[in-house]
Amino acid sequence: MNEQAIPAENKPTTVTVTLDYPIQRGEQTITAITLRRPRAGELRGVKLMDLVQMDTSALHVVLPRISSPVLTTHDVAALEPADIMQLGAEVSGFFMTKAAAETAGMPA
């Protein structure tokens, strides 16, 4: 096991992002998105480095798989740049090692 990896029980399993620009879906207004740490099956068809680099194409694939409320691909395509950046940063954070989290000033 990599000494730098955060034990699974210490890693946050979810994060909530408050959107700067809420999503309007019919009568529903989505103001916050909760993201769950992805499992291997939810990462299929995506290069991990693309997610770490917050590639929008990779985020279009993964965000609907790990978000609550579940985002549609249409929702992801309609996100404002500031919001997809926030969501992408949180997804990328799920892949940080303990050392990288400490360097970034995040709790390990």
C-beta separation of 68 from 47 below 8 A = no
CA distance 17 to 32: 5
pTM reported for the whole predicted model: 0.80
Does 107 sit behind a cis peptide bond, omega within 30 degrees of 0 on the bond before it? no
Is 20 within the bounds of a domain? yes
pLDDT by residue (tens digit) across 33-79? 999 999 999 999 999 999 999 999 999 999 999 999 999 999 999 99
Within a domain: 1: no
pLDDT > 90: percent of the chain: 69
Q: Tell me how far apart the 2 most distant CA atoms of the chain are, in Å.
A: 48
Q: Is residue 41 part of a domain?
A: yes
Number of domains in the chain: 1
- In whole angstroms, what is the distance from residue 72 CA to residue 36 CA? 16
Whether 108 maps to a domain, the answer reads no
**CA 16 – CA 22 distance, rounded (Å):** 14
| HSE, side-chain direction, 13 A CA sphere, residue 32 | 6
The residue count for the chain? 108
Domain assignment of residue 75, given as a range: 8-103
Answer whether residue 4 shows pLDDT above 60: no
Evaluate whether residue 40 is within a structural domain.
Answer: yes
